[in-house]
Every structure is written in C-alpha cells, then in structure tokens.
Structure 1
Amino acid sequence: MPEVREGDRERGESPPERDESPLERADRRWNELLQELRVAQTGVQILFGFLLAVVFQPRFAELGDVDRAIYVATVVLGAATVGALVGPVSFHRLVSGRRRKPETVAWASRLTVVGLVLLYCTMASAFLLILRVVLHNDLAFWLMLVMAGWFALWWFAIPLWARNRSESMTDDEPSR
C-alpha cells in the first residue's frame, strides 16, 4: 500500500497510487478539475441563459408574487453558481506563475464544490418554478423534493459514502 502523504487525509484524498512529485500531482489534479468544470459550466450556462430569457416571455407577467420571488431567488442562485464555477479559472489566472499550483488547485477545488452546491440549489429552485407554472398545485413542491433528493443522492451522498468507505478500508489495513 502506498504511503499516505501528509495532508492527503485532511483533504479527503485517498493515498496516492502514483509516484509523482507534489507539482506533478498538482498539474494532474488541475487538469482533472478543468475537465469537471467544463461539464458543469456547460449546464450552468444553458440553465442561466434559460433563466434570463424567461423574464422576456409574455406569460411571465401572469406570475404571482410567490412565483416571482422563486424566479428572483433562482436567478440570484444561478448568477452565484456561474461566479463560483468560473472562479477557479480567474483564481488560476491571477495566481499563475507564482509557484502556487498546489494551493491554487486546493482553492479551485473548494470553489468548485461551492459551485456544485449552488447549482444544486439553482436546479431545485428552477424545477420548483417550472412545476408550479405547469401544475398549479402542491404536487409541484413534492416533485421538486423528490428530484432534489435524487440530485443530492448522486451528487453528494453516494460520492461521500464512497469516499468514506474508501478511507475506512484504508484505515483498517495493517501498516507495513
């Protein structure tokens, strides 16, 4: 079993399986993070574009106060999501060349997690608004809760369970 490097466990990382320097590891983690951000940013841009276009639709004027409040909350959450998921790029650009790659990757990773939580909230809020407009009844809220649970399961619960399971399996192994 490879030796756990100092700080790996605190960041929730499994023991390294590669023989790489800290800078090589930072480069690899940065490239992996960029791939993840590309997936998330595409979805966020489409969702945010949809949200911005909604206000210009004729039916928007028919929304009641509660639905308008949900819309405003959704747009604010969407904007915050865009900020959080574009933030790592800005962070990297402003820190680049200052020999801070490991710290940059750590901060960008944290910001990405914040962005995913904000995206989760944006999705739930947008889903609630759409269902309220379509269904006009309390079923909209319950369907939103089911979908929010579904997203929470796959975006957070199962990955955290897998991470914790992996860590506990590593802890149970005898040291060599």
Structure 2
Amino acid sequence: GKGLRVMAAATKDMDPNDFDPDGDLLAMVQDLQMTALVGMIDPPREESHEAVLAAQDANIRVRMVTGDDVVTGAAVAKQLGIPGEAILGTELAAMSEAERLERIDNIGVVGRVAPEHKVLMVETLRKKDAVVAMTGDGVNDAPAIKAADIGIAMGSGTQVAKNASRMILTDDNFATI
C-alpha cells in the first residue's frame, strides 16, 4: 500500500453525430475498451509527519477522516504515523451506538466518508468525553466542523466551511495547529 489514486482511461468508437453533450452521458459508459490505468500519488506535506508526532507527544489523538478510498487513507496514515484500524464510513454508520463507542478508540482512519459519517465520528468521540477538533475545507466538512468542540477550516476552503469554523488556517497547513 503506497496510497496511490488510480485513474482509468478507456475509449469507445462512435459516430460524432450521435453525441449529445446534454444527453445521458452515463449511457455512453458501456462497451468501453480499457487503454490504461494510471497510479498517481498525492503525498502528504513534508511537515505533516512531524506534526502528527508532536500532537501525539501532547496526548492528542490524530485520526484521518477522508473521502479517499480506505486503502489509500490507511497507506497515508501509515506514512504519517497515525495508528489504528481503517474502516469505511458506511461501516461506522452501520454499527450500533454501543459498538461505535466500544470500537472508536481503535479506529484511526475512516475512508469513503459522507458528511453524515464525519458528524457521526465527531458525535461518537464527544460521547466518550473527548475534546474534538475537526479540520476541513469543503461544504461537505461544514456539519462536522460545526459539531466539533474546535472547528477548523482551511484558508483556501469554501466560505461554508469557514463560516462553520471557529478557527481558519490561512496557510492550509495541519502543522500550524
């Protein structure tokens, strides 16, 4: 697990006159000829590993909640020194509250999350009497940023995320926290 993002490229022979850009484009994604798979890496910032270690030294537990695939998230978490089990957001949501409360301490990465999974993570940690800080940059992060004790938005993030937060990282750098 290097945490690569994979992009597929494919082709399809068709008559250009049959193409309607306003039509059902999903219907065209049939009978494609695979031409390539490309692995791309989006490495964490150099200072992120040290920031995670500094947080851990201060008894702050860092977790990764990501829209990325859980395998990619787990690989990046390993590079950063974030311990714990990696699960899907749907797995977290499918657990009973009692099971979430029992397992949350062992979860380090939640992948393929929807906005409601992020909120569920924050609420579960708060029920365990944790003080929760949440960082994010998108509209989909805003509900969890607002639900956290300390909501942090990235400076380059959406206005919705910034409005939900109590702090804005103008340099977009986790290490600044």
TM-score past 0.5 threshold: no
Higher helix share: 1
Alignment TM class, shorter chain as reference: under 0.3
- Structure 2 length-normalised TM: 0.25
Higher strand share: 2
- From the CA coordinates, give the structure whose radius of gyration is larger: 1
